[in-house]
Amino acid sequence: MKGLYRKFTLFCCLLLSCILVAAQVRIEHAPHVQGTLKRESQVLAFIRHFNALPDAKAVSLAGTANKLMDALCILPQVNGPTGYNAKVNVAGAAMEIKDEAPKLMVYCYFRYLIRDSRYTGIKESMDGADLFMKINAFDLFHQMGNYWEECSKLHFPLFFEAPSLTDSTADYIEFRYKGDPVRIVTAGSRPLYVPLTRKEFIQFLIADDELAVREDNEALKGSREGEDQIKKMMATQNASDKAYSASTLKSMDYSIDQGEKNLARLREEMGNCRSLLGEMTPEEANAPARLDYGKKSSGAGMASLDRLVPMGRREGVLLVKLNPGFYDKRPNAPAVQMILLYYAWPTVGFAKDPDYLQQAMLDVFKQIDYHRLKESMK
């Protein structure tokens, strides 16, 4: 027992000393100390290292990446930082660079300069603010909207609700993705996304219903087999167990009845969709698909024939898809045809009340020469 008390006393002393040491540690920002800029200078060598692209494409990709870094490093917040260090670099992976539309990321990191009572002199903190410039980042759209899971499950071409623009110029478009602003710069005059047609939307409904019918049929088959097993077991059960089994069968009968009604509804919707496809004029088939979510629907999902807005009407939400002809795949076309920009930070909501480093990153995001970014892809 004395040994236990001795260990407990020792633990308390150690804990107290740690608390006292922690209480004496002081970390302060050094907002007036001159920082440094580190910039990657071997971009082409980095890309060539992966052996993933023809050299002409590697040179094209590296050329745009260097121009993006130039556009960052010309800004006083990056070149001549005060109160923080700046780092501008590139990142990528072999599979991403080898992709049909090669991907690469140019990033800008700001890290606080601090005084830490545990050390002598100025140190760089672990936290800060980051800006990402993602090249050909079409995968941003892969989880947008209400339908990406269904599209993935059905192996159906991805579509989503048209993003609401929060800002745009001739050089970029901006919308919010998961609450944060994203700016996209595109090359040429081809639109990044185009309307989903009414024909495509109805084809999606048919594919979705066909899968639901298969799944419901499997579920009903399992339920009926379960009922048969229970009925066989009842032949040898006592009165109490038979009563319980009878109650279970009653519940299963109800579930089977509801499943059959749902199957009938799905088959009716499929029939209506197929009839509508057969009756569509070319003009109606190619018209944009819009959905009115305020309208009641007999279906369980958000997408249904009931909610499809009549052709020519403007209510509801426009459905769009990535333009399949956006990326120019010709051998002599530039490797980079889209740049996506967004900033990140560890403190939620700093855009509303930024400190000096966060404000610097916000300024970079807003003040960077977006026309210069657009020209960098030529």
Domain boundaries, the chain: 26-138+168-192+330-375, 198-315
In angstroms, the Cα distances linking 196 to 115, 288, 291, 322 are 56, 6, 11, 9
Structure confidence at residue 232 (pLDDT): 83
Among residues 185, 151, 136, the alpha carbon closest in space to that of 327 is found at 136
DSSP 152-196: HHHTPPP-EEPPPEEEE-SS-EEEEETTEEEEEEESSS--SEEEP
Structure confidence at residue 135 (pLDDT): 97
Structure confidence at residue 109 (pLDDT): 96
Cα 115 to Cα 123: distance, rounded to the nearest angstrom: 6
Work out the number of other CB atoms within 10 angstroms of the CB of residue 122. 14
Q: How far is CA 53 from the centre of its chain?
A: 26
Structure confidence at residue 175 (pLDDT): 92
Structure confidence at residue 12 (pLDDT): 52
Contact by Cβ (8 Å): 94, 327: no
Cα 154 to Cα 209: distance, rounded to the nearest angstrom: 10
Cα 369 to Cα 247: distance, rounded to the nearest angstrom: 72
DSSP 3-state assignment of 247?
helix
In angstroms, the Cα distances linking 264 to 221, 277, 303, 306 are 16, 20, 18, 16
Structure confidence at residue 16 (pLDDT): 47
In angstroms, the Cα distances linking 338 to 173, 274, 296 are 11, 38, 39
**What phi, psi does 149 have (nearest 5°)?**
-65, -45
The strand pairing partners of 116, in sequence order, are: 27
Structure confidence at residue 19 (pLDDT): 46
pLDDT 10s digit of each residue in the chain, 378 long? Answer: 445 445 545 555 555 444 444 457 788 999 999 999 999 999 999 999 999 999 999 999 999 999 999 999 999 999 999 999 999 999 999 999 998 899 999 999 999 999 988 888 899 999 899 999 999 999 989 888 889 999 999 999 999 999 999 999 999 999 988 878 999 999 988 999 999 999 999 999 999 999 988 988 888 888 888 778 888 888 787 877 777 877 887 888 778 877 788 888 889 888 999 999 999 999 999 999 999 999 888 776 788 899 999 999 999 999 999 999 999 998 889 999 999 999 986 655 566 778 999 999 999 999 999 999 999 998
